[in-house]
Every structure is written in structure tokens, then in C-alpha cells.
Amino acid sequence: MNTATHTLDGHGGHAHQPGGLLRWLTTTNHKDIGTMYLSFSLLMFFVGGAMILAVRAELFQPGLQLMKPEFFNQLIGVHALVMIFAALMPAATGFANWMIPLMIGAPDMALPRLNNWGFWLLPPAAILLTLPFVLALFGIGDGAVATGWTLYAPLSVQGGIGVDFAIFAIHILGISSIMGSINIIATILNMRAPGMTLMKMPLFCWGWLVTAVLLIVTLPVLAGGVTMLLTDRHFGTHFFDAAGGGDPILFQHLFWFFGHPEVYILLLPVWGLMPHVLSTFSRKPVYGHTGQVWSFVAIGVLGLVVWGHHFMTAGLPVPALLYFMYSTMSISLPLAVLFFCWIATMWRGAMSFETPMLFAVGFIVLFGIAGLTGLVLADVAADAQYHHSYFVVAHFHYALFAGGIMGVMTGVYYWLPKWTGHMYSERLGKLHFWLTVISFNLTFMPQFFLGLAGMPRRIPDYALQFAEFNAISTVGSFVLGLSQLLFAYNIWRCIKGGEKASNGVWEGTHGLEWELSSPPPHHSWETQPVIKD
Amino acid sequence: MNSAHASAPHTGHYYVPQPSLYPFFLSGGMFLLALGFILQMNKFAPGPWVMAAGAGVIGFVLYRWFGAVIAENQRGDYTGWEDQSFRQGMVWFIGSEVMFFAAFFAALFYCRHISVPALAGMDPAFTLYKDFTVAWPSAGPKGASFTPMGAWGIPAINTALLLSSGVTLTWAHWGLMKGRRAQLNLGLILTVLLGVVFLGFQAYEYHHAYTELGLTMGAGVYGATFFMLTGFHGFHVALGTIMLAVVAGRCLAGHFDAKRHFAFEAVAWYWHFVDVVWLLLFVVVYWL
Ligand code: HEM
Ligand SMILES: [Cu+2]
């Protein structure tokens, strides 16, 4: 009975939809907004990527070749902020916008205008982040934020105008994410089709529900922290200044109370999506739906209480160190449950390896390396050596590129035919996958060894013995960056046309989202389906 | 809530508003406000003008946007289903506000119980601040010296004001539920007045602090946490007062009835949240 009957809806029907640019400025449609989020994310992925390729070019050889150290520092800081806040998070929100209403049988998101506002806050924030680069060309200010994305005091208290730009960019991004989260929670709690209990709800929606709660709990704390930074800089307060009784470590607490949950915020939507893909291409139901739901919740809760592992060398008292070590390590238990469920979903399935499945399997392997190296870093004694070295950089790129970005690519290939109504080119997709996986490892695997050998992160010059591995890493990074053009081209081609996609798109799909046409009608589920059984 | 939906399936009449330019312009206004503030803090001449432009755009858009929502509501576009979404939205929004204040309370506890004692307890051979001893309130080793704000003067009066405003607001709510419009209107107007008086007292208190007590933003971590906590609270009281005034105006215009009054409730939740924050402030900032 799950058919989308078109009843006449007096409000917001096609008739009122303006065309051209105005359509995008004004839209209240969850699919349009999802498309904007995803396009913006792709654009910023290339912006952030270009920045870091300049960095890798500088690191190709020891010595300073291309840029001043100050500019190098600006590039790495803005790279991270752009990738996290303007590429990865908007991609996940784009998925949420597109897929949650389709999956739960809703006509749209719960708060459509707020939804549009959430998106339109992003471009101003991205401009604020990058504008200081441009202003510096005209002799105004000394460039963008040069403290690294973590904005540690006292460096950030002393920094130039770029820090102020970053603070306000973070405020606006924060408001955007909070509005997006409120909307997603309201949609999930209030708009599910009759009969779809929370426990029957698809895992992607569950991943996002936990993500949204984490965002609402942690982002305001970051906002508070950067506000204190602003008043320390311009209004004479002493939050992070020992002379007035404050403490720079306080900033690290506030930052990482947000920063650690943030890594789960970036990944929970992807963990939610993985079982869908694995089950489709293994032609088997998801293994351990309930177990995965509780793992998400457990990771969310534990993720809120382990932030200290990011500054274990800053002089925390020993009991605090032990606490942060054991609590951090305990997160690997629910994470291991997820890995187990992913593998069990594939176990003895009739697997086929279309591009999304390749990315999913690649994700499992490489993200596993992220988790295992994380355990190494969580060890207080070992971290004393590895902290602030390239080992950490490698660790979190296995988590955020191989976990986050490749997870997003999994989703894009999986859902693109649903969104556009056309199949992408499988040949190009596979080529993109193999180039990405190989060059990713070429880029980041050497960084583990550089870190173990003692190369510090965030440094434009280095000792001679690190030269070979840095050269390899730079070559890898350029291949990695260029391969992503294939990704963009493949998406472009798929939007323009191609083989028609069926409603189900893939052979093994089930779920409400696959019952609508590809692409789905303007108002997704105008009549809510009823879930039986 | 959920089971109610399951028993009465919705028939596709969730109100999806028409395309709207408000969100886009609101973002633009926020961009200008932020840009202007940055320029102003860094002493670039156009700063205040850009800020004023931003604030103007924000004010205008909010006025129109909320006006549109009120009009839709009066037209009967919203049913209980949309109402649930608004409620969810407000609850989670207040949740995010709670966490924002939590950051500043956390800073207060951290400075009082960790950083100040640590600075005082350092090995004399290794510290710049040999004579610094533990105390609270504290300006730290080098902050401007000051006299702390006593709890039982204006702050106690302000506590009484906010608590009474909670009572008048609840009294107004009863009036609404029982159809006694005069009680509703009077209760709301009293609440707004109490909010305004509170703000007046706070302004006076700040003046007193700066001119007579030497208690400024620069008075070490006490001054910093004092002004940030009470300042953001005061800002929220101001917002709440404006929202209450709007609701009062709507009540006078005959909006709301015993069944449908989400806006009233949302503002009431917000006001009680601001109340609770104040009680915490009174205890940990002024009193203890
Ligand atoms: C069981 C899993 C994990 C453990 C035990 C773990 C542990 C750690 C530890 C101890 C550090 C601090 C290292 C240092 O600075 O000395 C760290 C850094 C980091 N981790 Fe993980 N991690 C895990 C999974 C993840 C995941 C899933 C992500 C991302 C989605 C992630 C992202 C990061 C990032 C971004 C940093 C560095 C941030 C920075 O300093 O700029 N980690 N991890
Ligand atoms: Cu962490």
C-alpha cells in the first residue's frame, strides 16, 4: 500500500515554486536543501583540499621552499576547520535532509524554513573563515587564523584578526548545526509513519538521532569557550591567563568537551549508513539492528566523558589521566560491536562489489586501523611520546578520511541513482575507489612511521631523516587530490543523464526510501505509509 | 505522543510553508553583524556601520518572519501535528542554551577549585607569584583588585523579582486555561514589568560595580566569570522580556485559547529556564 498518491496540497505545491536562483534561495523542500548541503560540501572539499596540497607541496622536501611559516600555519588551521565544519558535517546533513523523510515516510522535514536557514548560514561562515586570506592581500590584517583548528590559548589570545574571524565563523557554524539538529530530532520524533516504532526505525536515522543530540549538548560549550577567547582578546578578561587566576588548560577542556564528541558526530551518520549498504550488497538483512542502536547510544554517552585524552601531556593529575585512559579504551567495546555486526551482515551473503560496496569494505578495513591506533594513543605512557606527532595526524586521517569521507562517498554512490534517477558510471566509480584507497594509504601510512620516529605535526620544516617518507606522502596526496576530480565528474555525468534507475535501484534493497520513484516526487510521502508487522 | 499518531494516521496535510526569503536574509544580516563586530574590535572605521546594518536586517527579518508565522497560525494552517514539531524544537533549543550556560559555570568551578588553588600552591622556587594565596573571590595574582558584590542587596531583590515573575506568569497561564482573559493580560503585563525592573536593577548594579567596587571584566577570573554569567543571563532576560511583550500584545489582540497557545507556553518555558539559571547564579556567583 505504500504508494505516493498525489493529493492536492494547497500550500507549497509546484505552482508556487520560483525558478532559477530564487528557487534555491527560498526553498523549503527537504530534497532541494539536501542538494544544496551536498553541493556546498563538495565545493568546500576541494577548497580545503587545495589548501592542504599546498602544505604537502611545502613538505615535499626539508627546508622552506614555497611559503612563509606563518602562511603554512594558516593553511593547516583553515584546512581542518573547512574539512570538518564545511565539508564533512554538511555532507552528513545533506544525507539527513534527503534520506530521513524518505526513510521514515514523512512528507518533509518537521521545520522546513528553519531547515533552509540552517543551510544558508554555511556560506557566510565559509566566507568568514577564508576572507582574512583575501584581506591580507590588500594589506588588511595578517591573514587567517594561524593557531591550528584547536585554537589553543594563549596562542589564540595573542593571534591576529584571523582568530576573530574564526571565532565568529564557529559561532555561525554552531548555530547552523544546532538548528539542523533540532530539525532532525523533531522530524525523527514527530514525523515517522504510523507503526514505525523507534526500534524499527532504520539505522541511518538512529545514527543521526544520536549525532543530533551530541551536537546540541557539545556545540554550545564550544561556543562558550570561543566567546571566552574573544573576551580575553578584546575585553580584558582572564579566563585563560594565569595572571588573573585563569588557566590556558581550561580552554583545552572546553574545546575537547566539544572536540571529542565531534569525531563521533562526524562518524555516527556514516556508521548508520554502513549497515544499509552492507545488507544491500550482501543480499541479507542487517545483522544486529538492536545491538547497533545501543552501540550508537553507548558511544554517544561515553564519547561525552573522555575528552581529556587529547591533552594527556598537559599536566593533568595522575588519577585524571588514568580515568581518561580507561574510559577512552572502553569506547572500543561498543565500536567493536559495530565492526562485528558489519562483518556478520556480510557473512555468507551473496556479495557483489559495486562501487558503494567497495567503499564500504574499504571503510571497514581502514577505519579499523584508525580504531586500533587510537587505542595505542589512549595509553597514557605511549601517548607521552606520540602526542603532537605525525602519528596523531595519521590516526585521525584514517578516522576522518577513510572513515568519514570514504563513508560519505559510500553514501553518495549508494543514493545518487535514487536522487538523480540515473545510474553513475560504474567503471569510473571503481577507478575512483582504487585510486583513492591506494593513494590514501600512500599519503597517510608513511605518517605513522614519521610520527613514531619523532616528527612533530604542524611544522613547515623538518630534519633530514624524515625526507623520504615525506616525499612519498606528498606524491600520494597529489594523486589522492586529483582522483577526487573523477568523483566530481562522475556525479556531474550522473546528474546530466545516463541509464535510468529503477525505484529499488539495487537488487537487494528494502525500506521505504526504495518504494518511491527515482528521483522521488516533490513532496516525498504526501500520504504517510503505514508500517505493519 | 507517538501512539496517538499510530492510532490516527496523518493524511498528508503537514503544513510545509511556501518558499521564503527570510532565512537567506537572516543569514546575510548575521554575516554583516559578525563582520562589523570584527572590524570594530580591530579598530577599522566602518565597523559600527556594518554592525548597525546587520542588526537592522536581523531585526527587520525577525519581525517579518515571526509575523508570518503568527499569521499562518491565526489562519489555522497548523494542527496538533505541527504543534508537536514546534514543541520539540523549543525544548531542544532550550537544551542547547542550558549547555551554553554550563560552559560558563564550568569555567567558574574550574577557576575556583582548580586553577586558583594550583597557582597558590606552586613551589615558591618555580613561581612568578610567590605571595599569592588561595581565596575566593579572587582576582588571581595580577588582576585588578576589587570588592566583591554582596549577595543580600540588589541580587537578593532581583531574586525576589524573578521568582515573583514566575508566579505572575503561572497565574496568567491559569487565566488562559480558565478563559479569564483579564487575569491573563494582567499577569503577563506584570511579568513583563518585573522583567524590566530586574534589568534596571542589574544596570544599576553594574554601574555600582564599575564605579565604586572596582569590580570590572578585568578583575581576574572573578570579574570575568561574574560579568559573563550575569551578562549573558541579563541578555536572556532581555530577550525573554521582549518575547513576553509580544505574547502579551497577542493576548490583548485576542489570540490563543485554552487549547492552542504554543507561543505562550514556549515563552513560559524559556522564562522559567532563565529563572532557574538565575537561582544557580545567585547561589554560586553572589552567595557562596
Ligand atoms: C577507539 C577508538 C579511538 C580511540 C581510542 C582514539 C584515541 C585518540 C587519542 C588518545 C587521541 C589523542 C592523541 C594525541 O593528541 O596525543 C586521538 C586523537 C584524535 N582522534 Fe582518535 N581515537 C579513536 C577513534 C577516533 C575516531 C573514530 C575519530 C574520528 C572520527 C578520531 C579522531 C581523532 C582526531 C581528529 C584526533 C586529533 C585531533 C587533533 O589533535 O587535532 N579518533 N584519538
Ligand atoms: Cu578524542
Q: What is the pLDDT along chain A (533 residues), one digit of tens a residue?
A: 333 333 333 344 444 678 889 999 999 999 999 999 999 999 999 999 999 999 999 999 999 999 999 999 999 999 999 999 999 999 999 999 999 999 999 999 999 999 999 999 999 999 999 999 999 999 989 999 999 999 999 999 999 999 999 999 999 999 999 999 999 999 999 999 999 999 999 999 999 999 999 999 999 999 999 999 999 999 999 999 999 999 999 999 999 999 999 999 999 999 999 999 999 999 999 999 999 999 999 999 999 999 999 999 999 999 999 999 999 999 999 999 999 999 999 999 999 999 999 999 999 999 999 999 999 999 999 999 999 999 999 999 999 999 999 999 999 999 999 999 999 999 999 999 999 999 999 999 999 999 999 999 999 999 999 999 999 999 999 999 999 999 999 999 999 999 999 999 999 898 999 999 999 998 888 888 998 86
B26 or B78, which is more confident: B26
Of B88, B97, B110, the CB nearest to A190: B88
CA distance B163 to chain A (A): 26
The model carries a pTM of: 0.94
Chain A partners of B22 at a C-beta cutoff of 8 Å? 113, 117
CA distance B189 to chain A (A): 30
Residue B12 in this model has a pLDDT that exceeds 60:
no
The DSSP-derived string for A282-294 is HTSPPS-HHHHHH
Minimum CA–CA partner of B120 in chain A: A245
Whether residue A293 is contained in a domain is answered as: yes
B222 touches chain A (CB under 8 A): yes
Which of B37, B64, B115, B235 has the highest number of chain A CBs within 10 A, making it the mutation to test binding with A? B115
User: How many other CB atoms are found less than 10 A from the CB of residue A47?
Assistant: 18
The cell for A333 is 567495546
Q: Name the closest-CA residue to atom 36, ligand 1.
A: A396
CA neighbor of A477 nearest in space, from A195, A54, A86: A54
Whether residue A488 is contained in a domain is answered as: yes
Chain B partners of A161 at a C-beta cutoff of 8 Å? 38, 42
Q: Which of residues 165-194 of A touch B (CB under 8 A)?
A: 165, 168, 171-172, 175, 178, 181-183, 185-187, 189-192, 194
- Of all residues in chain B, the percent with pLDDT exceeding 70 is 96
pLDDT digits (tens, 9 = 90+) for B59-76: 999 999 999 999 999 988
Give the CATH number of the domain where residue A284 resides: 1.20.210.10
Query: Diameter of chain A by CA atoms?
Result: 71
A304 touches chain B (CB under 8 A): no
pLDDT digits (tens, 9 = 90+) for B262-286: 999 999 999 999 999 999 999 999 9
Whether residue A100 is contained in a domain is answered as: yes
Minimum CA–CA partner of B8 in chain A: A194
Domain span including residue A224: 31-514
Whether residue A523 is contained in a domain is answered as: no
Q: Name the closest-CA residue to atom 27, ligand 1.
A: A399
Residue B163 in this model has a pLDDT that exceeds 70:
yes
Whether residue A533 is contained in a domain is answered as: no
Looking at residues B117-146, what average pLDDT do you find? 90
Whether residue A464 is contained in a domain is answered as: yes
Whether residue A21 is contained in a domain is answered as: no
pLDDT at A113: 95
CB-count exposure of residue B182 (10 Å: 0-12, 13-18, 19+): exposed
Amino acid found at B49? W
CA neighbor of A43 nearest in space, from A78, A86, A100: A86
The cell for B64 is 517579518
Whether residue A207 is contained in a domain is answered as: yes
The answer for residues whose C-beta is within 8 angstroms of residue A532's C-beta and 6 or more apart is A195
Query: Which domains are present in chain B?
Result: 17-77 (1.10.287.70), 79-287 (1.20.120.80)
Chain B partners of A111 at a C-beta cutoff of 8 Å? 85-86, 89
Residue B224 in this model has a pLDDT that exceeds 70:
yes
Residues A193, A212: Cα–Cα separation, whole Å:
20
Kindly state if the Cβ of A262 falls inside 6 Å of ligand 1: no
B109 touches chain A (CB under 8 A): no
Overall number of domains in chain A? 1
pLDDT at B13: 80
Residues in chain B: 288
Residue B2 in this model has a pLDDT that exceeds 80:
no
CA distance B183 to chain A (A): 33
Q: A21-28: list long-range contacts, CB under 8 Å, 24+ apart.
A: A22/B19, A23/B19, A25/A120, A25/B21, A25/B24, A26/A116, A26/B19, A26/B20, A26/B21, A26/B24, A27/A116, A27/B19, A28/A108, A28/A112, A28/A113, A28/A115, A28/A116, A28/B16, A28/B17, A28/B18, A28/B19, A28/B20
Kindly state if the Cβ of A303 falls inside 6 Å of ligand 1: no
Amino acid found at B106? A
pLDDT at B76: 86
Cα atoms found within 13 Å of the Cα of residue B169, Cβ hemisphere only:
28
Cβ <8 Å between B217 and A237: yes
A83 touches chain B (CB under 8 A): no
pLDDT at A1: 31
ipTM: 0.94
Radius of gyration of chain A (CA): 23
